[in-house]
A and B are shown apart, each in its own frame.
Chain A
Amino acid sequence: MTAVRPPPPDKDRCGTWKREDTTDQVSPSAEGSAASAAVKDASEPLLRLRGISKSFGPVRAITDVDLDVPAGEVTALAGDNGAGKSVLIKCIAGIHAPTSGEMWWEGERVHIHSPRDAAALGIETVYQDLALCDNLDIVENMFLGRERTHRISLDEDSMEHSALDTLKSLAVTTVRSIRQPVASLSGGQRQSVAIAKAVLWNSKLVIMDEPTAALGVAQTEMVLELVRRLADRGVAVLIVSHNMNDVFQVADRIAVLHLGKLAAIRPTSELDRQIVVDLMTTGTSTRIAQPRPDRE
């Protein structure tokens, strides 16, 4: 669990490790991971992909992708349309099974066959279309599929408490009532609910697909702050975005996909907008001598 993982040694942007946040996340399984803490040293990323490929019939959507996603950082996944960003995150989220390749989670080899497998590991995905039910209220949406029950009836009180708690901890305070249907929320509020839903489960990796795509300026700012807060809590965030502004504002590291291959992955500080655009469109950039494999 995140609580027992030592703080990453050199964190450039989010160096202030919030203790009160990490204590939140102690769970019964913390003992188990304490035993395996020796195995994973600080350099072990939360999620490690090696040689991931996915084909749909004759079409190769992604080829041989190596990607590390460390905890407590925002990793941005950039790429042009059709570069394979969505396929890659769907492989991680358990919606597609990779054709070949290996996935390592906290130093252990894992196979993710379904969204449930991913959820069991602590991987939550916020889809572009948010996957919220308009006719349900905020609490009902946040707990959808994982309702707490008291014998056979739903334990609404406990769920509402936790939902309130999570929204507070993420400083999502603009909603009028937690019991209003999601249909009545603004785009940014809906995005916040979707993200809070992902956080509710003490997830370790939150994947976001274009979280700011349909939002106005103020709401984009709100969501990006939320993303930053997540990473500061020690959660690994993998964010897919077209928007260079957003990527540079929020990401610690940027991975660029080009035609299904990983063109580069490096800290944001070593990149600028032009390089990323070059990488996205051509797969290489004249401003880079050679893509270095990322190693923290």
Chain B
Amino acid sequence: MAQLDEAPSVAEEVQGAVSTTTTADYLRVSIARIRGGETGVLPVIAGLLLVSILFQSLNGNFLSAGNLVNLLVQAAVFSILAMGQVFALLLGEIDLSIGFVAGLSAVIMAERVEPSVGWPWWLAILAALAVCAVIGALQGSLITRLGLPSFVVTLAGLLFWQGVMLVILGSGGSILIQDQTINDISSGNLSRAAGWIVMLVIVAVFAVYTWRGDARRREAGLTAPPAVLTLAKILLSLAGGVALVLICNANRGILRPVYGVPWVVLLVFAVLAVWTFVLSRTRFGRYIYAIGGNAEAARRAGISLARIRTLAFVLTSFTAGVAGVVYASRLRSISTAIDGGTLVLYAVAAAVIGGTSLFGGRGQAMHGVLGGIVIAAIDNGMGLLGFSAASKYMVTAAVLIVAVTIDAVARRNRPALR
């Protein structure tokens, strides 16, 4: 374009401004942003540290390798469900059905791999996920085409899909999963070497991608963090990866040696990576934020609200389906005991604790993961301390309120309230 031909001159001028931006300046701007209410994931990470210190001081086993890995596996269902919920919340909507959609997914998968049916594991999972996507499309269409409130439609979904699940489960009330691959999703581990290799490959890809992107932007005179910060980001992710693999590779078995990165951790990372890419690097993701921020502006920009919204609900249900597979895999069975109602509320709580706004337009897949870990940590830590389920609920509720309060207080400093 003709506009681009002029770019060098513009870039030069801007670079003049950028070259004066030192690391300290960049940090100062970032701190100003945080104080301005764009707190990002900081509160939840602080909360996580606080919870860890508290439980560790009360019970020395909390931060043991075995318990941490256990915690991550526990968190997987919440995290994945919450990542699904983030799509709905970003639109300023809510999906109450995902708990039982996850349940239905688990039941369909379990039923399909029963020896009497005999589908291969991957086909069973695909079938379950496909059904979930169709459910999402159905609910999404009702919400967007007929203009029904998502709260009501998905509340109906919560009841209806529970009913369907009970019908499929039949009088037996539970299905045992005998397929080894499916059970390994939650209880299988990578070998120690494989864990290292996978971690290094992921970090290397991330490093190259981040470094090249930031360097290119710096060269072009566009907004970019200074090289030191890019490097710090990469080193931090490497440190995180090393720590994770070290913890997972420690022997956590009691009767026989158990070690390695659980498959399910990798699965959560995969879902996180894909959804983060979709939300931050594609048109579809950008449109979700736009609709959540100002639906009218999005409509005037020529964005098809109905299509984007419906697709978001499809992704919400689809992700719930993945969570259902993980749930069943962890229990090695699925029964009428699954409490989809509590699951969905935990998913909403996890997303909000992670930093996603209930009013739409603000949130990331990462928030779901972190929030899920917080909820699992409370559950796990209080379990270690011998508290009852009743007190777990109450503490989780308190954390939820604290998270929303932090968000609300941070918002007060924000220039434009919405």
Q: Show the binding face of A for B, using Cβ within 8 Å.
A: 23-27, 114-116, 119, 125, 127, 129-136, 140, 144-147, 149, 152-154, 157-158, 160-162, 164-166, 168-169, 177-179, 181, 183-184
Contact = CB atoms under 8 A, between A and B. Distances in A.
Contacts of B290: 133, 136, 140, 144
B362 A135 contact: yes
A184 B297 contact: no
B256 interface: no
Given A132-B294, A136-B290, A165-B6, 7 more contacts: A24-B6, A129-B296, A144-B297, A160-B217, A160-B223, A161-B7, A165-B3
B392 interface: no
A165 B7 CA distance: 7
B7 A133 contact: no
Nearest to A145: B301
B416 interface: yes
Given A133-B289, A133-B290, A134-B294, A165 B216 contact: no
A184 B302 contact: no
A27 B14 contact: no
9 closest Cβ pairs, A-B complex: A145-B301, A133-B293, A135-B293, A131-B297, A183-B416, A135-B361, A179-B223, A144-B301, A153-B281
A290 to B, nearest CB: 40
Contacts of A27: 1-2
Contacts of B286: 136, 140, 144, 147, 154
A147 B283 contact: yes
B289 A154 contact: no
29 contacts: A23-B2, A24-B2, A27-B2, A114-B302, A115-B300, A125-B300, A132-B294, A132-B297, A134-B293, A134-B294, A135-B292, A135-B362, A140-B286, A144-B301, A144-B303, A145-B303, A146-B301, A149-B282, A149-B283, A153-B281, A154-B281, A154-B283, A158-B4, A161-B4, A161-B7, A164-B11, A164-B14, A165-B4, A183-B416
A140 B290 CA distance: 9
B302 A119 contact: yes
B220 interface: yes
Contact of B416 (A129, A158, A164, A184): A184
Nearest to A25: B2
Nearest to B302: A145
B414 interface: yes
A158 B290 CA distance: 20
Contacts of A130: 297
B2 A157 contact: no
A18 to B, nearest CB: 14
A116 B302 CA distance: 6
A175 to B, nearest CB: 11
- Which DSSP category, helix, strand, loop or mixed, fits chain B's interface? helix
A154 B6 CA distance: 22
B387 interface: no
Contacts of A162: 1, 3-4
Interface in B17-47: 29, 36, 38
Interface in B194-230: 216-217, 220, 222-223
B242 interface: no
Contact of B220 (A24, A127, A144, A161): A161
B208 to A, nearest CB: 15
Contacts of B4: 158, 161-162, 165
Contacts of A24: 2-3, 6
Contacts of B277: 153
A136 B223 contact: no
A145 B415 CA distance: 25
A253 to B, nearest CB: 27
Nearest to A194: B297
A11 to B, nearest CB: 24
Contact of B13 (A136, A168, A183): A168
B297 A133 contact: yes
A158 B292 CA distance: 25
Contact of B296 (A116, A119, A131, A177): A131
A165 B282 contact: no
Interface in B271-308: 277, 281-283, 286, 289-290, 292-294, 296-298, 300-303
A26 B222 contact: no
A144 B183 CA distance: 44
B10 interface: yes
A199 to B, nearest CB: 11
A272 to B, nearest CB: 36
A139 to B, nearest CB: 9
B17 to A, nearest CB: 10
Contact of A183 (B220, B296, B415): B415
